[in-house]
Structure 1
Amino acid sequence: MDQSDIQTFSRNEEFTIFDRHLPHWGQSGTLCFITWRLNDSLPKAVLDRLDAELSEVHRSFDIGSKYPTVASLPIEKRTQCYWDEFAVRDRFLDRGLGNCLLRKPEHAEAVLESLLRFDVDRYFLTDAVVMPNHAHFIAAFPATELMLFQCENWKRFTGRRINKSEGQTGEFWQVDQFDHLIRTDDYFEYFRRYIAENPIKANLQKGEFLHYQKKLDQ
């Protein structure tokens, strides 16, 4: 893939919705903002606080009163609700909870190296940041079913590699992921800035994160 193959989301073209723990929208060649977190990044001690804040988000969308679930919201409200949920979770992630194994440069490099390994051949990656307990990136895939397949492969490979290095076993990454199809060029620029600025907002120092941004043709 090259830059001419990528686009923002179009309602006039075919797209697919996959339902797992979270819904995942896919569209061929469409840029997608993706977030992974480490399996221990939200310890049980903070989950009650997180759940309380998520409940506030749900109440603001009349979940439990007018609508039984998030999935029953009209599509535009549902998208906004999922994004508001993400913002709450990401704020907790930025606190640097858990063992934060990706703070180690060699582990962060393993993740970024894996993301870039088949860039252009299998997908088109524009931006990425690897932080102590989570990662954000933007990529487009040539077919809708390839996004989740590629992400599962990335997570399996990097998880095994880092677990082996640490002499440990078990789930390294949290099973599901947050992903969001990018709808306009303005939103694309917003997400690029979000990725670049997230380490600053999390008060990380040089050497505690890795940031990548591809130079694109105007």
Structure 2
Amino acid sequence: MQHRNLPHIYPRGATFFITFCLYNALPNKVVKEIQEEYDLKINKIKKEQNSKDERNTSLYKLGKKYFADYDILLERYSRDDDFLKNTKVAQIIINKMKEYDGKRYDLLAYCVMSNHVHVLFCTADYENETVSKTMQLIKGGSAYESNQILKREGNFWQKESYDHYIRNDNELKNIVHYILENPVKAAIVKEWKQYPFSYLKDELM
């Protein structure tokens, strides 16, 4: 099941917080319900708000809420046998994110969980590189290599990524904390530095 109608907003040079998850990480019924609710609210905003700035602000706030709701669901439906718990697979994804660091973005933070990945990067010095293409490269390359390791075929990632662009330093700080605390909140480790599949750029320490 694919959902390709999220209202992605990609301001040039912005910092982005992106979550991407395994194919069918959530039950189709659950995804459909939350997506339908979201679509209704999007259409309401488009009909009732004539100003472009007002629409963008409302869509930004709505997207932020949807992003949080979706992430909660991913944690709720995480399973013991998810592919990303395979250390070789997790390392493939990490290597792929690092491959484009300094080429398409500045990699600020990431966390590879059991069924989803959080990544935070800044595109200020790479305005000619599109976020959608960047995610295609990360997901496409890691999917192929992961399937090879797992000796499987078929879809690996959900087509849609869930993105949010950062508006200020305070929001950046909160999102960095959120990313790093994921494995702590999931009771995998007591401190984020103990988790082998998390990263924070030195300048943000």
Q: TM-score, normalised by structure 2?
A: 0.80
Name 2:199's counterpart in structure 1. Answer: 212
1:76 aligns with 2:46: no
Distance 1:40 1:204, change over 3 A: farther
CA offset at residue 68 of structure 1? 3.8
1:158 aligns with 2:134: no
Q: 5+ unaligned residues in a row in structure 1: which ranges?
A: 1-19
Q: Could you say what secondary structure the match of 1:128 adopts?
A: strand
Q: How many residues align?
A: 190
Distance in 1 between residues matched to 2:96 and 2:151, nearest whole Å? 20
1:87 aligns with 2:68: yes
Percent identical across equivalent pairs?
Answer: 26
2:75 is matched by which residue type in structure 1?
D
Distance in 2 between residues matched to 1:212 and 1:29, nearest whole Å? 22
Q: Does the Cα contact within 8 Å between 1:27 and 1:143 map onto a contact in 2? A: no
1:215 is matched by which residue type in structure 2?
D
Q: 1:127 aligns with which of 98, 106, 109?
A: 109
> Which structure dedicates a bigger proportion of its chain to helix?
2
1:186 aligns with 2:170: yes
1:213 is matched by which residue type in structure 2?
L
CA offset at residue 71 of structure 1? 4.8
CA offset at residue 113 of structure 1? 1.1
Query: 1:20-169 residue pairs with structure 2 within 5 A?
Result: 20-44=4-28, 47=30, 51=33, 55=37, 63=41, 68-69=43-44, 71-72=46-47, 74-97=55-78, 99-141=81-123, 142-143=126-127, 145-169=129-153
Q: 5+ unaligned residues in a row in structure 2: which ranges?
A: 50-54
Distance in 1 between residues matched to 2:144 and 2:197, nearest whole Å? 20
Q: Does the Cα contact within 8 Å between 2:110 and 2:120 map onto a contact in 1? A: yes
Name 2:52's counterpart in structure 1. Answer: none
Distance in 2 between residues matched to 1:39 and 1:70, nearest whole Å? 30
Distance in 2 between residues matched to 1:170 and 1:201, nearest whole Å? 31
2:155 is matched by which residue type in structure 1?
E
CA RMSD of aligned residues (A): 2.8
Distance in 2 between residues matched to 1:178 and 1:217, nearest whole Å? 23
Name 1:199's counterpart in structure 2. Answer: 183
Distance in 2 between residues matched to 1:71 and 1:171, nearest whole Å? 33
2:114 is matched by which residue type in structure 1?
P
CA offset at residue 95 of structure 1? 2.3
Distance 1:85 1:136, change over 3 A: same
